Structure 1
Amino acid sequence: MKKKIVAYKPLPADVLAYLQEHADVTTVDPKRHDAFVAALKDADGAIGASVQITPAMLEGATKLKALATVSVGFDAFDIADLNRRGILLTNTPDVLTESTADTVFALILASARRVVELAEWVKAGKWTKSIGEDCFGVDVQGKTLGIIGLGRIGGAVARRASLGFRMNVLYTNRSANAQAERDYGAKKVDLEELLATSDFVLLQVPLTAETRNLIGAPQLKAMKRSAILINASRGPTVDEDALIEALQNGTILGAGLDVFVKEPLSADSPLLKMKNVVALPHIGSATHETRHAMNKNAAENLIGALNGTLTNNMVNPEALKR
């Protein structure tokens, strides 16, 4: 008998066809909460993204053995609860590394050279003479990039920074990244030194209890006044109110943000009124090629998990002990 899978996001036709070869697939709109929860109760597995899956939603879902998130982040799930229930969670960490690193570097360049602000200025018909210092930005090449969290994506950004822009790379991480140190000259330092000496501070950490509000008012004050904060990890890793105040007061020079505490970002957010902020709609991995690869990878993860053949991309392998 085929396994039963709930798909709670639209999937490319070929990915859906792949799942249907291996299982009976029910597509559910997660906004229809009761229908979604009811479908989970009869499912062996589920695949989707961008929906908070709470313990209450899994009550009675006794057949559920695996969940596949079409993302690298997994803060939408209660891992301890999944472990208790013996439900394996899989993610898609590798296929989005390079496109997300491209987005990060786009934020660095756009923030430093005021690309968005000046492009809008030109479109508004304000370019009537040769530009002066009021339109100048700051250099990227040769500057110091401090990366908080040198994992896959952080390492890909370090490669771009070191080899492409001759940047000095500092980083903080739970463990040393030998490859980045060897190939990109990255230097592991404590957070205090990173904040004090970096021209660009990049957050590339998962959202956990330890990283929530990791960058707040004290950390922003510890940065150079000429520094730019880049966040492409999770919005709540930064105290947004403290960041707004720091940007308004000139505590730091600017910010490039792809993530926010609440998404979509409210149209009345003070961040949208600041010329020294580049705000993107969480596009980290949003290319046609990468999103397709993520969907395909997640589907393969789910079938592998249900068949007991999966060997990688397991967020909580300890769940298998249940």
Structure 2
Amino acid sequence: MPPLPSTPLPGFNPRVVCYFQTYHDNGEYVSLLPLITNTSGATHVILSAIHINWDPDNMTLNDDPPDHSKYTQLWDEAMVLQDSGIKVMCMLGGAAKGSFARLDYSESRTDVPLARFETYYAPFRDFIRAHNLDGVDLDIEEEMSLPGVVHLIDRLKADFGRNFIITLAPVATALMPGRPHLSGFDYRLLEAARGNSISWYNAQFYNGWGGLHNTAAYDEIMRNGWRPEKVVAGMLTNPRHGGSGYVPLEVTAAVISVLMERYPNFGGVMGWEYWSSYPQVENSWVWPFCMTLCMGMRRLRDAAIVVNMGRSLSSINMNPR
């Protein structure tokens, strides 16, 4: 894929994406409403993670059915977020394998009948409809064929329309030439085949798959021909949220500032995850707030001011979770 020119897109604003998986902390629900009440700047919330299990009628959100009573407040708040302009999506897959193996259908596969795909896909489709979700994030961390993921994207678009958001969450090396990753297909070929149906890629720059301690990994992806507006830089928001690769906020802010200057259409940032985010774990909305200000200011000096502002909030009990 040859390098593509990066010229400013009219009206394009970088995204601030919050993944949300830890819904309860010591038995208490972790509310999303501070994202609204504190004008955090978050643009998208991705609810994690939906698993399609061996029993198609036993689809789960983490360890429980999505309609379990423990999620009642989550679904109520999701509607409030949507009414406030924040898009609410769900993540399918992740580290727990099996969901995409069950959805890996293509016409060329004689060993997998279409009926099998429909059996596993239908409950997932009905779940999206029931909760009026704005989109799906495909986190494919297992082998899947290129025709299989194309078929899944086509079905989602056919069922939910052109405005339905479809994103993927590859590890960052999946967008680099000749580097190992987890999905089993070439993302450049997927972009060539269905780029018009994919809104962006939530690239994971952690756990050894590329870092955000400097701009090198993101720059390598850009040299591989990707458009910056389609590559969102993913980071850990707390060192205990992933295996490795947490980068302190003051470093991240400086790197994001450089990327904003270097790529006028920088796609934005995503954080894993919303719960217990630095710089103030009791007020997780501060992380998207800081990211929003960093990307709005664009300069290293201003980015440093943002980090200090976020830290100063830690001494103030501002609308905690």
Alignment TM-score > 0.5, same fold: no
Provide TM-score, normalisation by structure 2: 0.30
Q: TM-score, normalised by structure 1?
A: 0.30
